[in-house]
Amino acid sequence: MFTGIIQGKGKLIEKRPSGGGMVFGVEADFSLTDPAEGESIACNGVCLTAKKIAGRRFEVDVSPESLSRTNLGAMAVGMNMNLERALRLSDRLGGHLVSGHVDATTSVAEIRHEGDFVRFQFAVPKGLGRYIIEKGSITINGISLTVNQCDDLTFAVAIIPHTLQVTTLGLLKQGDLVNIEVDLIGKYVEKLLQVKEKGDGSPASRINPAFLAEHGFFFFFWQLPAERTWAHREPPL
């Protein structure tokens, strides 16, 4: 598990085929204190297992699945990636809960400079639009970011100078491919609430006033006949 708070950049110093996948040799630009063989390190937001750790260098095995579903397959020797070591239970959760399991890739649609800040606009990956909400969290190349604006086709984030400096976002160009991981909590909530399918094949939700009352939401509900919607009020003392 990660937080999306990048610790530094890593340079791809070696790339070789292995067992249908690849082995990457990576050199971090920060010290790997207390390195543990087999620990998880997020590389551009992809959770990988570090091995042969020596100083600031380590190797990771990249599976065919990761090569095909992330931007790691397109990386060339000499390119940089964002690095984050796995979260300790005692650490601060500075970003949001990030699994390191990339949902999709998408391309940079627009880059706009606004003073010291940079606004990036991305295409919404197919099937992920329902998880991307204004002021919600999203992970881009392993970085925890806040969605500033979104619609059915695009979403945008505003990047502060510090993030531009310590991550690879400052190196992005229009059309570049990035890894996307949407908010983990939203996906779990959706799954838990899908109990069956409606006649049209779409998932049915059982969220209603009775469900909320049964699960500890202490409100009194009543239906408004004209609008056919639900309102709520606090219970009496």
Calculate the CA dihedral of residues 203, 206, 209, 211 and round it to 10 degrees. Answer: -150
For the ranges 5-9, 51-55, 89-93, the lowest mean pLDDT is seen at 89-93
Give the rounded distance of the alpha carbon of 119 from its chain centre.
18
pLDDT at 131: 95
- Could you give the CA distance from residue 104 to residue 113 in angstroms, rounded to a whole number? 26
pLDDT tens digits along 102-131: 999 999 999 999 999 999 999 999 999 999
pTM of the model: 0.81
Q: Does the pLDDT value for residue 180 go beyond 50?
A: yes
Confidence of residue 191 (pLDDT cuts 50, 70, 90): confident
Confidence of residue 194 (pLDDT cuts 50, 70, 90): confident
Strand pairing of 40-43 and 80-85? Answer: antiparallel
Q: How many CB atoms lie within 10 A of CB 72?
A: 25
Q: Does the pLDDT value for residue 160 go beyond 90?
A: yes
Structural domains for the chain: 8-85 (2.40.30.20), 104-186 (2.40.30.20), 193-233 (no CATH)
* Token pair for 82: 């964002």
- Could you give the CA distance from residue 111 to residue 107 in angstroms, rounded to a whole number? 11
* Token pair for 219: 């409100």
∠169-108-8 over CA atoms, to 5°?
A: 15
Alpha-carbon distances of 39 from 48, 51, 111, 159, 171, rounded to whole Å: 8, 8, 35, 29, 28
